[in-house]
Homo-oligomer: A and B are copies of this chain.
Amino acid sequence: MSQPSSATLEKITALCKRRGFVYQSSEIYGGLNGVYDFGPLGSLMKQNIRSAWSQAMMKANDAIVFMDGSILGSYDTWKASGHIDNFSDPMVDCLNCKKRYRTDEIDLERACPHCGKKAWTEARMFNMMFQTQMGPLADPTAMAYLRPETAQAIFINFKNVISTSRVKIPFGIAQIGKAFRNEITPKQFLFRMREFEQMEMEWFCKDAQAMEYFKFWADARKAFYQTIGLDPARIRLREHAPDERAHYSTACIDVEYQFPFGWKEIEGIAHRGTFDLTQHSKHSGKDLNVFDEETKSSYTPTVIECSVGVDRLFLTLLFDAYHEDIIEGEERVVLRLNPRIAPIKAAFMPLTKKQVDPLYQIYARIRAAGFMVQFDESGSIGKRYRRQDEIGTPFCFTYDFESEKDNTVTVRHRDSTKQERINIDDIQQFLEKITHE
């Protein structure tokens, strides 16, 4: 088993704000609840997460194509998907103070926690989709929705993709993009947000092979988290009990991570049967079947879905990487992020003013080669190491009086704090090897 984590939600949240990973959105105006902006380090790290996922999808199977659907969607799409009718939470209002609660977060036998009176309305359903009006006329036909999940863009484009991309069953469509849910009570920082980002892949196959693929993807997706550095002892697969699953779903597995506050889902792998394509075919009147050359008959493909939230994974990676240890008698916070995920790959630190120029030239060359690196010249060397440790920078390069003689620099490793000499001409290759999988 793993060591108990020293990470807490408070520490992670504070670090994110202090070092420019994440800010609350519209903060100077009091903030938007459940909505966040990603700062310089956060946006780089998010991009590394997206890129690791895309690369993993690309390598898992060369029959996976990508797409990028719109956020705005029509009433018909969300009617067919079931979201108009079912994507709701039951709510009650306090008749006295008008405060609104989800029924599952409040004991209706007791008084309102806000005003202390006990006077509840009947429970009513509250749809969690964000609505807006499209076009100049405020009539019902102009109603549009911010997508509450990215998957439906894949299903409604299934026929478009298959008829324009030369893919054949079995194949997958992968997508990364924002989704929106009007949560009543967004909570735990990036864990449950109103505006978030999903990475979803829908795998279309014959029904006879669906369970085999379901198992393949559950294992492949679990393995992915190790390749991006999560502690394998904190990752598990948990199969849903039949009463946890949607009525159309044959099987569902969560990839869970052990947070200090318990095991929580970070990805869902779902056998969705033919539900989605059947619904869209029914509502649109379009034939979404494929023709089987072998049996000379047409059929609706079965879907296996892999769905993960970028922001929740971002938070998970920070929880997993966060460590406090003692280095040379001094306490430090260190993010032991995998080098592929770390926002800054290396810092270049001159020890004296004289070394600024030669080291800057090395730094500039590495940056021009496309590596996100920093030049850090202010404060004591110890202070600079702490600064880079706290944001997860895997390597620090220092140039010293020997460097001019033997064309080497010192590289200091974040986790072990060990140092070694490396030839200046080998720095780029060193970083390439360690930051690419």
A residues touching B (Cβ–Cβ < 8 Å)? 17-20, 23, 25-30, 32-33, 35-44, 46-47, 55, 58-59, 62, 65-74, 76-77, 91, 98, 100, 126, 130-137, 144, 146, 153, 156-157, 159-161, 164-166, 173, 175, 178, 180, 182, 184, 194-195, 280, 283-284, 286, 364, 367-368, 370, 372, 375, 378, 436
Q: How far is the CA of A378 from the CA of B166 in the complex (A)?
A: 10
Q: Establish whether residues A74 and B159, one from each chain, have CB atoms under 8 Å apart when the complex forms.
A: no
Return the contact of A160 from the options B23, B98, B283 (Cβ within 8 A).
Answer: B23
Q: Establish whether residues A37 and B69, one from each chain, have CB atoms under 8 Å apart when the complex forms.
A: yes
Starting from the known contacts A40-B66, A40-B161, 5 additional A-B residue pairs (CB-CB under 8 Å) come to A19-B164, A20-B161, A25-B69, A25-B70, A59-B367
Q: Count the copies.
A: 2
**Given A59-B368, A126-B136, A367-B58, also A18-B164 (CB < 8 A):** yes
Q: Within 8 Å CB of A286, what residues of B?
A: 28
Q: How far is the CA of A39 from the CA of B372 in the complex (A)?
A: 30
Q: Closest residue to A363 on the B side, CB-wise?
A: B62
Q: Within 8 Å CB of A41, what residues of B?
A: 165
Q: Establish whether residues A20 and B165, one from each chain, have CB atoms under 8 Å apart when the complex forms.
A: yes
Q: Establish whether residues A37 and B68, one from each chain, have CB atoms under 8 Å apart when the complex forms.
A: yes
Q: Within 8 Å CB of A178, what residues of B?
A: 71, 178
Q: Establish whether residues A70 and B32, one from each chain, have CB atoms under 8 Å apart when the complex forms.
A: yes
Q: Within 8 Å CB of A25, what residues of B?
A: 69-70, 72-74, 153
Q: Within 8 Å CB of A19, what residues of B?
A: 164
Q: Within 8 Å CB of A372, what residues of B?
A: 58
Q: How far is the CA of A194 from the CA of B74 in the complex (A)?
A: 13
Query: How far in angstroms is the closest Cβ of chain B from A93?
Result: 9
Q: Closest residue to A152 on the B side, CB-wise?
A: B26
Query: How far in angstroms is the closest Cβ of chain B from A361?
Result: 13
Q: Establish whether residues B66 and A182, one from each chain, have CB atoms under 8 Å apart when the complex forms.
A: no
